[in-house]
Amino acid sequence: MTTTKHWTLKSIANELGVSNATVSNAFNRPDQLSEKRRNDILAACTKLGYFGPNKAAQSLRKGKFDTVALVLSDSVEYMVSDPVASKFMKGVASVLEQEKLNLLLFSGSSDSVNAVADFVDGFICYGRPRNALLAEQLKQVKKKVVTVDFDIHRNASVSIDNKLAAYEVAKLALQSPADNVAILGLRLLDTHLTCRVYDLDLLEIDMSIAHQRLQGYLQAIEETGVTLGNDRIWNIPESNAEYARIAAKEALNSTPRPNVFLCMSDLIALSVLGEAQAMGLSVPEDVRVVGFDGIDEATRSTPPLTTVYQYSEQKGRKAAQMFVSDAVHAEVLGYELRLGKSC
């Protein structure tokens, strides 16, 4: 017969005429038996087609799963094609692979983390999940959690100083009190709509990165002596070329036309660049634009974008390392102002 028998620890031990504890030890605790005996057993198992203790049973017993769930802020489908998220995932994957930990991708729009909490060792959570409920659950979950770019006040976290970075890049774009500023925000509102944000005061000031960046922009605006109209802030629900183009068009066609665009992602900034040029405007003469993130494409655009470069891959590595080492502190990573020609 060619189909191999379905072996279990017990049946294989039986077959070999040894106790199941001995087989278990052969696989997990080399110090518990002689090397020769161990090798004999291992060899016999390979020959018979037993590849070691069943992982599911082992995990149930030990409460250890060798798997970490990467909770994305949005659907897996969307995140996997986002350049910033991809770099982050790359960083995470590189250290998990090295640590022989499995990587489970988990959508931030899922109903509940409880669906996976029972078979992972913990969570790395990239950005506040679209489904706010998940963040609540993560606060309670009895597993390791590392959050990135947001905080649930109970855990390890990694982020950058978004406010300062936003302030600095805005200062580069703003030049005179006469400047007319538009802010293209990313996820300022908990909605799927691209729309203007009229009432700044009504904005719930959470500590999402969008609000931190907004604070930075506002500080730069104030310092420059610029007046920000109450219809000069847009909300874009995802860092996505289509949504961004809608907002970019609307902003460019608003009166008076803004000459400075503070954009919360490079994808948004690139849309403004494209739309402005399509309208016959020159950058930076007519319109100055700054982005955020530092994606590759922003260095290749005409003109290259002035932006905040984040070390996304390093961020991913750091998050994974903190997970592995049971860190509990908040880590603040650096960033870099990238001077392009867009302002």
Partner DNA sequence: CTGTTAGCGCTTTCAC
Partner DNA sequence: GTGAAAGCGCTAACAG
* Both structure tokens of 235: 């909300």
200 near DNA, judged by CB under 7 A = no
Pairing of strands 335-338, 307-310: antiparallel
Q: Which stretch binds DNA (CB under 7 A): 24-32, 101-109, 119-127, 192-200?
A: 24-32
x-marked contacts with DNA along 29-68 as a string, rule CB under 7 A: x--xxx-xxx-------------xxx--xx-xxxx-----
x-marked contacts with a second copy along 91-130 as a string, rule CB under 8 A: --xx-xx--x-xxxxxx----x-xxxxxx-----------
Among a second copy, DNA, none, the one that 76 touches (CB under a kind-dependent 5 to 8 A) is: a second copy
Nearest distance, CB of residue 95 and a second copy, angstroms? 9
Which of 15, 24, 250, 274 contacts DNA by CB under 7 A? Answer: 24
Among DNA, a second copy, none, the one that 33 touches (CB under a kind-dependent 5 to 8 A) is: DNA
> What Å distances lie between residue 120 and 53, 57, 62, 72, 88, CA to CA?
18, 14, 12, 15, 20
Cβ-count burial 51-74 (b if 16+ within 10 Å, e if not): ebbeeeebbeeeeebebbbbbbbb
Nearest distance, CB of residue 53 and a second copy, angstroms? 9
Nearest distance, CB of residue 24 and DNA, angstroms? 3
55 near a second copy, judged by CB under 8 A = yes
* Both structure tokens of 30: 């080399």
Nearer to a second copy, 130 or 232 (CB): 130
Name the residue among 249, 266, 114, 69 with its Cα closest to residue 186. Answer: 266
SS3 content of the chain, % helix, strand, coil (to 5): 45, 15, 40
